[in-house]
Amino acid sequence: MRLDYLTIFPDYLDPLRQSLTGKAAEGGLLELHVHDLRTWTHDRHRTVDDAPFGGGAGMVLRPEPFGEAFDALDLDGATVVVPTPSGTPFTQALARSLATRERLVFLCGRYEGIDQRVLDHAATRAEVVEVSLGDYVLNGGEVAALAVTEAVVRLLPGFMGNAESLVEESHEDGLLEYPVYTRPASWRGLDVPDVLLSGDHARIAAWRSEAARRRTAQRRPDLLHPSAAATAWDVVPAT
């Protein structure tokens, strides 16, 4: 898979070179290309933004540098991913879908956003997906692009050593993950649930499935009953 990032803060994406994504790039599973959007400016100040037409606060990223970048990077056939709080919610299902693409191009916005025509134009040359990590506001798309990248790349065949840990984890089955424990069996007066020490694999599986259900009902009722979505995040329970 080839990944391109257009950003005015290329250093923000340095973490891609580290840890598992960095290894995957070194091993040839990934090709990473981080581009400074200012590469495609021509004025002395390398201007990328301007005031919004119609007035209002903040600045908007101008279309021309993106247009030149699209031409230089040959966008055709790629999937363009635009992190924005007004995007469609990024989910494990969307991560799985993006993991099937040959090439993702991330457009990282800053300020009030990217001129809408950038997205409209890109949509004539590529598939465009606007994604949001959740209902809160980040300063720009870079951190979100890192999050999306990590969620997608770990699903690529050959990325993870242990494919089973992929199947067992939160959201793969539509539920949150059950609590996990390791040694010691007793620690600071807190004991690991007996059933996990029993060696009875059927009972362990039943306990885990019930624990996952209980946790999901408490923390994310919307996952069990989609109509509960509106109230799901109003409170943070103690446990």
**Known binding-site positions for S-adenosyl-L-methionine:** 109, 133-138
Choose one: 57-65, 82-90, 119-127, 164-172; the region binding ligand 6GU (CB under 6 A). 82-90
d(CA 114, CA 107): 9
The answer to the question of residue 140 lying near ligand 6GU (CB under 6 A) is yes
- Alpha carbons within 13 A on the beta-carbon side of 142: 19
The answer to the question of residue 152 lying near ligand 6GU (CB under 6 A) is no
Count CB-CB contacts under 10 A for residue 89.
Answer: 11
Q: How many residues comprise the chain? A: 239
- Do the bridges between strand 186-187 and strand 190-191 make them parallel or antiparallel, or are there none, so unpaired? antiparallel
Please identify which residue in 128, 131, 152, 153 interacts with ligand 6GU, judged by CB under 6 A: 131
The answer to the question of residue 132 lying near ligand 6GU (CB under 6 A) is yes
The answer to the question of residue 134 lying near ligand 6GU (CB under 6 A) is yes
Choose one: 66-74, 80-88, 167-175, 200-208; the region binding ligand 6GU (CB under 6 A). 80-88
d(CA 227, CA 221): 9
The answer to the question of residue 144 lying near ligand 6GU (CB under 6 A) is yes
| Smallest distance, ligand 6GU to C-beta of residue 56, A | 17
Residues 6+ positions from 26 with CB-CB distance below 8 Å: none
d(CA 164, CA 20): 18
The answer to the question of residue 83 lying near ligand 6GU (CB under 6 A) is yes
For residue 174, what are the CA distances in angstroms to 3, 196, 230? Answer: 28, 23, 18
> Under DSSP, is residue 131 helix (H, G, I), strand (E, B) or coil?
strand
Please identify which residue in 28, 57, 76, 137 interacts with ligand 6GU, judged by CB under 6 A: 137
Q: Which stretches does DSSP call E strand in 37-194?
A: 49-50, 60-61, 79-89, 103-107, 113-114, 127-132, 186-187, 190-191
The answer to the question of residue 85 lying near ligand 6GU (CB under 6 A) is yes
Choose one: 23-31, 41-49, 121-129, 132-140; the region binding ligand 6GU (CB under 6 A). 132-140
CB closer to ligand 6GU, 57 vs 137: 137
Pick from 84, 83, 48, 45: which is nearest to 66 by CA? 48
Q: Are 168 and 180 in contact (CB under 8 A)?
A: no
The answer to the question of residue 59 lying near ligand 6GU (CB under 6 A) is no
Choose one: 4-12, 30-38, 42-50, 81-89; the region binding ligand 6GU (CB under 6 A). 81-89
The answer to the question of residue 61 lying near ligand 6GU (CB under 6 A) is no
Which residues sit at the interface with ligand 6GU, rule CB under 6 A?
83-85, 87, 131-134, 136-138, 140-141, 144
